[in-house]
A and B are shown apart, each in its own frame.
Chain A
């Protein structure tokens, strides 16, 4: 049996896995953006204690393997009757939030201080200047590294298979073990990942182009 027939025979089940991988990624990135924005604000708050809180969070995430974080979230949250899907989503969000916080912090700080001063000089409050003047410019700059982080998150979601979430990678290894043919299904799952990554890259590029219209 050649690879193509195996691909065709298994596509319904792989598409289900792809949908789950897609959901894991989208939902966890969505949550991670809010976590990231929150900690980015703590980092630039110039309030020592808030900066420390953000530093500790980032240190914890960067200092431990993602698979350990996922297991801790999985066993911690499922014991509180939270579903496996959501405990993995929150684990991934917790992880990506730290990297996204650094992306946002860098982007916000890269906007010339004169922009804030120009806003303030017109009578805008600091919060309004941040919202109307700084953040739109910062998010434009954050977009390329954010897109990168999306793709990393997508691929990292494969670690959810270790706690039994039936996403793409889990399906590949299961199929492989049922049919004593790991190689074929690993190659097939690689194609699915490539398609997803391609899809994400195109979306990010489209957004970037649209946002770049003023430059």
Chain B
């Protein structure tokens, strides 16, 4: 594992109206780290992830990405987002485009790649997620698991330095969860930096370098998954784990 810091978060705060969703979040993610965010719904873990991709803008605090402090006033957030891949719970594939067009869209229109080059790269990515035979199919014809693998390929097409996963398997039928987790595991093994909001404790235990337990907008406990799951130091972590395991 490399020591260079990918994302550093200092005293991050975010509110929606009167609702204080993130309270003084501090976090440092190094290159090739795989981090799992766990916690009950409403604990702020998805909001934290969305702040890291600037889909939500922080109220206060500092987000440093690859050594640069990112502020919406001084940075082109579109450029930063190219480096930060995001996978959503509900896939959000583009329904009016075929599988391969979904993957090629951003490389062509954002990176200005030639169509040929984009197609070549997209095919390689579809190969990687095991869906090259579906390249000309529209998303509506895919299963949930296939959709999510296409969404992963689409995000990877921008060659991001970090991938954010927002409950990537929560909308899937149980028998389809495995294929998506396998794809994510392969990605982790290749050294991709990943932050994963998940309820899949098995995945967290197996793949994550460390896990974060969030409660009520705060980070309660951080640790190696094995340690965090088996011997939680905080009573709240213990209560949560008892309720989900």
Given the interface pairs A117-B92, A118-B92, A120-B55, the reply to whether A132 lies near B105 with Cβ below 8 Å is: yes
Q: Are A123 and B158 in contact, CB atoms less than 8 angstroms apart? A: yes
Q: Which one of A133-141, A150-158, A186-194 is at the interface?
A: A133-141
Q: Are B105 and A214 in contact, CB atoms less than 8 angstroms apart? A: no
Given the interface pairs A123-B78, A123-B79, A125-B78, the reply to whether A112 lies near B110 with Cβ below 8 Å is: no
| Distance between Cα atoms of A118 and B55 in the complex (Å) | 10
B95: A residues at CB distance < 8 A: 137, 214-215
> B70 → chain A, closest Cβ, in Å?
14
A128: B residues at CB distance < 8 A: 109-110
Q: Which residue of B lies closest to A112 (CB)?
A: B92
Is A122 positioned at the interface, with any CB of B under 8 Å from its CB? Answer: yes
Is A124 positioned at the interface, with any CB of B under 8 Å from its CB? Answer: yes
| Distance between Cα atoms of A136 and B94 in the complex (Å) | 10
Name the one of B55, B79, B85, B92 contacting A115, with C-beta atoms under 8 angstroms: B92
Is B135 positioned at the interface, with any CB of A under 8 Å from its CB? Answer: no
Is B53 positioned at the interface, with any CB of A under 8 Å from its CB? Answer: yes
Residues facing A in B95-146 (CB within 8 A) are 95-98, 105-106, 109-110, 138, 140
B92: A residues at CB distance < 8 A: 112, 114-115, 117-118
Is A121 positioned at the interface, with any CB of B under 8 Å from its CB? Answer: yes
Give 1 or 0 for each of B131-165: 1 = CB within 8 Å of chain A CB: 00000001010000000000000110010000000
| Distance between Cα atoms of A134 and B195 in the complex (Å) | 28
Size range of the chain A interface in the assembly = 20 to 34
> A134 → chain B, closest Cβ, in Å?
10
Q: Are B110 and A122 in contact, CB atoms less than 8 angstroms apart? A: yes
| Distance between Cα atoms of A215 and B96 in the complex (Å) | 8
Name the one of B82, B88, B93, B94 contacting A123, with C-beta atoms under 8 angstroms: B82
Q: How many chain B residues touch the partner (CB < 8 A)?
A: 27
Name the one of A115, A121, A133 contacting B155, with C-beta atoms under 8 angstroms: A121
A123: B residues at CB distance < 8 A: 78-79, 81-82, 106, 110, 158
Given the interface pairs A117-B92, A137-B95, the reply to whether A124 lies near B55 with Cβ below 8 Å is: no
> B146 → chain A, closest Cβ, in Å?
16
Q: Are A118 and B88 in contact, CB atoms less than 8 angstroms apart? A: yes
> A137 → chain B, closest Cβ, in Å?
5
Give 1 or 0 for each of A99-136: 1 = CB within 8 Å of chain B CB: 00000000000001011011111111100100011001
| Distance between Cα atoms of A61 and B81 in the complex (Å) | 42
Q: Are B78 and A137 in contact, CB atoms less than 8 angstroms apart? A: no
| Distance between Cα atoms of A115 and B90 in the complex (Å) | 10
Given the interface pairs A117-B55, A132-B105, A215-B140, the reply to whether A122 lies near B96 with Cβ below 8 Å is: no
Name the one of B84, B96, B106 contacting A124, with C-beta atoms under 8 angstroms: B106
| Distance between Cα atoms of A115 and B155 in the complex (Å) | 14
Of listed B97, B106, B140, residue having the most chain A CB within 10 A: B106
Name the one of B90, B98, B158 contacting A122, with C-beta atoms under 8 angstroms: B158
| Distance between Cα atoms of A112 and B84 in the complex (Å) | 22
Is B184 positioned at the interface, with any CB of A under 8 Å from its CB? Answer: no
Is B86 positioned at the interface, with any CB of A under 8 Å from its CB? Answer: yes
A124: B residues at CB distance < 8 A: 78, 106, 109-110
Binding site for B on A (CB under 8 A): 112, 114-115, 117-125, 128, 132-133, 136-137, 140, 214-215
Binding site for A on B (CB under 8 A): 53, 55, 78-79, 81-82, 84-86, 88, 90, 92-98, 105-106, 109-110, 138, 140, 154-155, 158
20 contacts between A and B (CB under 8 A): A114-B88, A114-B92, A115-B94, A117-B55, A117-B88, A118-B86, A118-B88, A118-B92, A118-B93, A119-B106, A121-B53, A121-B55, A121-B86, A121-B155, A122-B81, A122-B82, A125-B78, A214-B95, A214-B98, A215-B140
Given contacts A118-B93, A137-B95, A214-B138, list 11 more A-B pairs with CB under 8 A: A117-B88, A119-B106, A120-B55, A120-B78, A121-B53, A121-B86, A122-B81, A123-B106, A123-B158, A124-B78, A128-B109
